[in-house]
Amino acid sequence: MQFFFIRVADLPLVDLFVTTTDPVLEPPIITVNTVLSLLALEYPANKLACYVSDDGCSPLTFYALMEASKFARLWVPFCKKYSVQIRAPFRYFTEEANEDDSLEFRQEWLRMKVWFLFYLAFRR
């Protein structure tokens, strides 16, 4: 098996597009989780752009994404620091933290979960 190493400078710019149209058929939490997952990819942030196209021009989706941008400031570094593989918060927090994990991780995991649940409860 051969491994190839690519310098960050040689990586291409990547544009990611998320489309949505109706907040009733496509709840904003689904769009938010998709965007947060994409932002947490293991790819240089300066080479990655995420765009959302809302054909329904929903104020609800717009507001949810604005709030998600606040959560992303915590979520993305957490994912990168701990190499989180399931990057959609809605899915990630359905499981409990492993007792074998470090105390620091469990404390940060709980802080993330509380923040995410706060976001869900008060931002709908």
Q: What is the pLDDT of residues 64-110, one digit of tens each?
A: 999 899 899 999 999 999 999 999 998 998 888 887 889 999 999 99
pLDDT at 114 over 80: yes
Query: Is residue 97 included in any domain, yes or no?
Result: yes
- pTM of structure: 0.83
CA–CA separation, 105 and 82 (whole Å): 8
Cβ-count burial 54-79 (b if 16+ within 10 Å, e if not): beeebeebeebbebbeebbeebbebb
pLDDT at 53 over 60: yes
Query: Is residue 4 included in any domain, yes or no?
Result: no
Question: Domain range holding 44?
Answer: 12-122
Find the mean pLDDT for residues 58-65.
92
Query: Is residue 5 included in any domain, yes or no?
Result: no
Domain count, the chain: 1
Query: Is residue 41 included in any domain, yes or no?
Result: yes
Query: Is residue 118 included in any domain, yes or no?
Result: yes
Average predicted confidence (pLDDT) for the chain: 89
SS3 71: helix
Q: What is the pLDDT of residues 12-51, one digit of tens each?
A: 999 999 999 999 999 999 999 999 999 999 999 899 999 9
Query: Is residue 20 included in any domain, yes or no?
Result: yes
Query: Is residue 110 included in any domain, yes or no?
Result: yes
Query: Is residue 1 included in any domain, yes or no?
Result: no
Find the mean pLDDT for residues 113-122.
78
